[in-house]
Amino acid sequence: MTIKNILYIILVIILVLFSCKKETVKNVVPEEILSDEELYKIEQEELENYLLNNDDLINLGIIFPHKFVEKYGEENILYYHYYREWDDEVVGINYKYSRKLLLVKKSENEYYVLLEQYLIPFAEVIVLHTIARIDNDIFVFKTQDGWDNVIVGEFYFYGNIVVLKTDCEKSFNFTGRNFAGRHYSGDIYIIERGVL
């Protein structure tokens, strides 16, 4: 093989690699080119498609604890509460975290669920209202919060406590992902029975 042939082969390889790279770059659409409105539309389409294919997601709409009590009656509600407070000395912030779990027995296999949680100093209050169904002695649910997060949860009873776990299955926008990181980390909470 002559030097001329070797140079020709190298040139062909370089041209092929350059044209492949050019094609790849041409098909990439940087996010910053899309406007906020366009991104929002794409996120909403993704959410609609997801909801169409996930009929186990039950979102009963926003209802706050006092309305939940009015609707189902105080005598029918099992109430559980978790509260934790701690100081972050590095940034000088006092955190307060609360979870309220209100349950109404619909049948042996189903409960109406209201989960309200907040984290101070962050202002958001999250309220999930759904139905939990039994699956292998654990009640499971899938619902949606107000920031387009799909939340999966499970709980079981152990004496006067409930062992509760919530996680974010899917998030559909930046704000939702931000809140999901604060509120749905897959942690397990031991929630004690309380009085309304």
Q: Which residues of 159-176 are buried (b: 16+ CB within 10 A; e: fewer)?
A: eeebebbbebbbbbbeeb
CA distance 191 to 147: 25
Using CB atoms within 10 Å of the CB of residue 81, give its burial: 0 to 12 exposed, 13 to 18 middle, 19+ buried: middle
H or E element in which residue 54 lies = none
pLDDT in 10s for each residue of the chain, 196 residues: 567 667 667 766 776 665 655 444 455 555 457 787 888 888 889 988 998 888 889 999 889 999 999 999 999 999 999 999 999 888 888 989 899 999 999 999 999 999 999 888 876 788 999 999 999 999 999 999 988 899 999 999 999 999 999 999 999 988 888 888 778 888 899 999 988 7
Question: What are 181-188's contacts with CB under 8 Å, separation 24+?
Answer: 182/119, 182/122, 183/117, 183/119, 183/124, 183/126, 184/149, 184/151, 188/163, 188/164
CA distance 31 to 51: 24
Scan for tokens 């912030």, then name that residue.
93
> pLDDT tens across 112-169, in order?
999 999 888 876 788 999 999 999 999 999 999 988 899 999 999 999 999 999 999 9
Q: Please name which of 81, 154, 165 lies closest in space to residue 116, comparing C-alpha atoms.
A: 81
Scan for tokens 């397990």, then name that residue.
188
